[in-house]
Amino acid sequence: MSDSENGKPTGDGIPEAESAEAKAKAEAAAKAKADAAKARAEAEAAKPAWEKDPVTPEWIDAEEDPLVESLRSAHGEGLLSAKIFAGDLVLDVRLDDIRDVCRTLKEAHGYTLLVDICGAHFPQREEAPLEVIYIFYSLEANRRVRLRVRLAEDVEVPSVTPVFAGANWPEREAYDMFGIRFAQHPDPTRILLWEGFNGYPLRKEFPVEGIDTGAAIYPEFYEGSAGPVAGTGTGWKPPEPPAEPAEPEETTGEDV
């Protein structure tokens, strides 16, 4: 039996078996690293343009999309435009038709998941500076659709709570942060701030340094029939401090 088979040191003092094993591990690690780098490069190359930085996604016309054709057939001029941006279908909808379009998406096309409703403010648009964005998702089609409506100041948007009960809180948040009001909403009150708060924090003109919020005009607790909005108080009151013990009466020598 040779010295190497007995595990005896080679010329550099390392057993030959251990040396061969270390060499094999190093080669395997180098190969795995190279394979991982190749896989990352292939995955990066396969990404669509909008996922590659700094390429900006382009708006693509979507008038021939089957879903767009069906919605346009159902709602006619209520559908103002249809484009694809970063893989998502974006539809501009006439204000008065938004609830009906949402209902059609849900009942006829399976967009049963309301992902979000949010607001936006574009002060440079004088006629319609406010915008409401609705995001829907279809589990069956594995597709996301965005609806947008533009509106002027003091114009109400039809609430979609009759179609999606989950629209209740997002619509209240859009009112709270942007001042967008929704007609026929079941509870059109602020959800993050109190009634009487000065301004709408997500509008572009809201100063970053803050303003007088109006908090000082409210007490620290409300009766059950009061509250920031009449009838919404919790009825909570701070605990009353314990009564101080009565001081003992002074006695005189005559009482002894």
Domains, the chain, ordered by start = 60-210 (3.30.460.80)
| Omega cis (within 30) before 9 | no
pLDDT of residue 233: 44
130-138 and 143-151 strand pairing: antiparallel
Helix (H/G/I), strand (E/B), else coil: 94: coil
Residue 8 pLDDT = 55
pLDDT digits (tens, 9 = 90+) for 143-174: 999 999 999 988 999 999 999 999 999 999 99
- Average the pLDDT over each of 57-61, 62-66, 106-110, 180-184 and give the range with the smallest value: 57-61
Closest CA to 157 of 170, 143, 171: 171
Instruction: State how far the alpha carbon of 123 is from the alpha carbons of 128, 153, 205, 209, in Å.
Output: 8, 11, 8, 19
Give per-residue pLDDT as tens, 128-144.
999 999 999 999 999 99
- Prediction pTM value: 0.65
Distant-in-sequence, close-in-space partners of 195: CB < 8 Å, separation ≥ 6: 189, 228, 229
Q: How far apart are CA 249 and CA 151, in angstroms?
A: 75
Q: For the chain, what's the residue count?
A: 256
Average per-residue pLDDT for the chain: 83
Pairing of strands 130-138, 113-121: antiparallel
pLDDT classification of 240: cutoffs 50, 70, 90: low
- What does the block give as tokens for 30? 């180098």
**C-beta of residue 83 within 8 angstroms of C-beta of residue 58:** no
Cα–Cα dist 212/220, whole Å: 18
